[in-house]
Amino acid sequence: MEAIQERTGELWSLLVAHGFGELFGDGDSARVECPACNAPRALKLSLSTGQARCSNCGVAAPIKTYLSELEDAEIVQDAEVYSEAEIIPLHADRAPVPAAPKETVAPAVAEEQVWQAELMEELVSKPADEAPQEPVKSQHRRSVFETLIICLLSLVFLAAGLAAAGLSAFANYQAFGASVADPVQGRIWGWAGVIATVCSFGGFTFFWWHVSGGRRKEGARALVFALAGAATSVLGTALFMQSNSDARIEAEAEAAAARPLIEAQIADYVRQLEGIPAETRSVEGLEAYLRGVEEAGRTHQKPYRDAQNELGLAKRRAALEAKIEAARLSLLGEGGPAVLNQEGPSKGLPAWFFAIMLEVFSSQGTSIALVALLVLASGRGRAVRDA
């Protein structure tokens, strides 16, 4: 039967006449009680196909046949008009049920058996490719709020996973690039570490996709690929963190070893500074005094020569103070408070633990987000196709 696109024509008129118009609402299908198995809301009436099919027992027939049987059931009141030969069982593989005496058969039972007989005749007359399909389970339709929440969480997981993947890729680039001395080869091996990070979360996504599609062998290959990328990424991140930790410990050791030398230099500068008279004026004041004497033309006098000698001492004092300040800053800059307070190097998380957790956030967080988005997209596409 041709698909009915509009609510016009003979079929719609018959449905309205039998009181089924309100059941369709704004959709193109309605569910009523199946006369074959008496299951409530199991018989689906579809305007798009013009067919009536039961999701419980699988019986299918045109809607007009169902309506005509309803009309016959309303007209016929005497069950004796049907003989036992006219009753055809719905399932041929079941043993026939002995017919009850005609005077005890209820009219409703006779009507149901006649309806089943005509449905079976309709099924027998159909080609093999139009055989009734298996009952389709109704799918759970997600609400708008559920879809919105899943989308937001997926985007959060995707952003967190990509951020972790960026950190892991940076660590792999630095670790693999430092493994060779040649700069060109170092860049090549560094980008190989970045590729390993991408293969990690991409492989887990492909693993889910293949397994959900029934391709278990391809899923196993994708899993091996993803685990190889994850192991490579964990190794690169652990090497990067370990090398940074070693460099920090070495710097602290060098600063601690240089501390006695710097302190000895500071002590020497202080002794030289103590040799300069305390009453020596500042460099700025002496320079201003000398400029005034030169402008007055009294450079031949002894105070001018004494001021010049004092200016030399003031400059020497300023230079020693600058050296002392630089030496103290060198202690703070190289070793920091740990050297000054004679504390040990700070303890952090183990490199392997941080590398594993970063890889888990990178691969699993990103793949979980991508899988959720794929599920939402596939469910929406399936809903559009069913409509």
- List the pLDDT tens digit at each of the 387 positions of the chain: 444 445 667 778 888 877 787 788 777 788 888 887 878 888 888 887 888 888 888 888 888 888 887 776 654 444 444 444 444 444 434 444 444 444 444 454 555 555 555 555 555 554 544 444 554 444 556 678 888 898 898 899 889 888 888 888 888 888 888 877 777 777 887 887 788 888 887 888 888 888 888 889 998 988 898 888 888 888 888 888 888 877 777 877 777 787 788 888 888 888 888 888 888 888 888 888 888 888 888 888 888 888 888 888 889 899 988 988 888 887 776 544 454 544 444 556 677 887 888 888 888 888 888 888 888 887 655 555 555
Residue 2 in domain? no
Claim to verify: residue 41 and residue 92 sit in the same structural domain? yes
Claim to verify: residue 125 and residue 176 sit in the same structural domain? no
The number of folded domains in the chain is 2
Residue 101 in domain? yes
Claim to verify: residue 382 and residue 236 sit in the same structural domain? yes
Claim to verify: residue 122 and residue 167 sit in the same structural domain? no
Claim to verify: residue 106 and residue 154 sit in the same structural domain? no
Claim to verify: residue 164 and residue 104 sit in the same structural domain? no
Claim to verify: residue 154 and residue 210 sit in the same structural domain? yes
**Phi, psi for residue 51 in degrees, rounded to 5:** -115, 155
Query: Could you count the other beta carbons within 10 Å of the beta carbon of residue 133?
Result: 9
Claim to verify: residue 104 and residue 158 sit in the same structural domain? no
Claim to verify: residue 109 and residue 159 sit in the same structural domain? no
Residue 268 in domain? yes
Claim to verify: residue 111 and residue 242 sit in the same structural domain? no
In terms of DSSP bridges, do strands 43-46 and 60-62 run parallel, antiparallel, or are they unpaired? unpaired
Domain span holding position 53: 10-130
Q: Considering 130, 165, 200, which residue would you say is the last residue of a domain?
A: 130
Q: What share of the chain is helix, strand, coil (3-state, %, to 5)?
A: 70, 5, 30
The arrangement of strands across the sheet holding 29-32 comes to 29-32, 43-46, 51-54, 60-62
Residue 93 in domain? yes
Residue 3 in domain? no
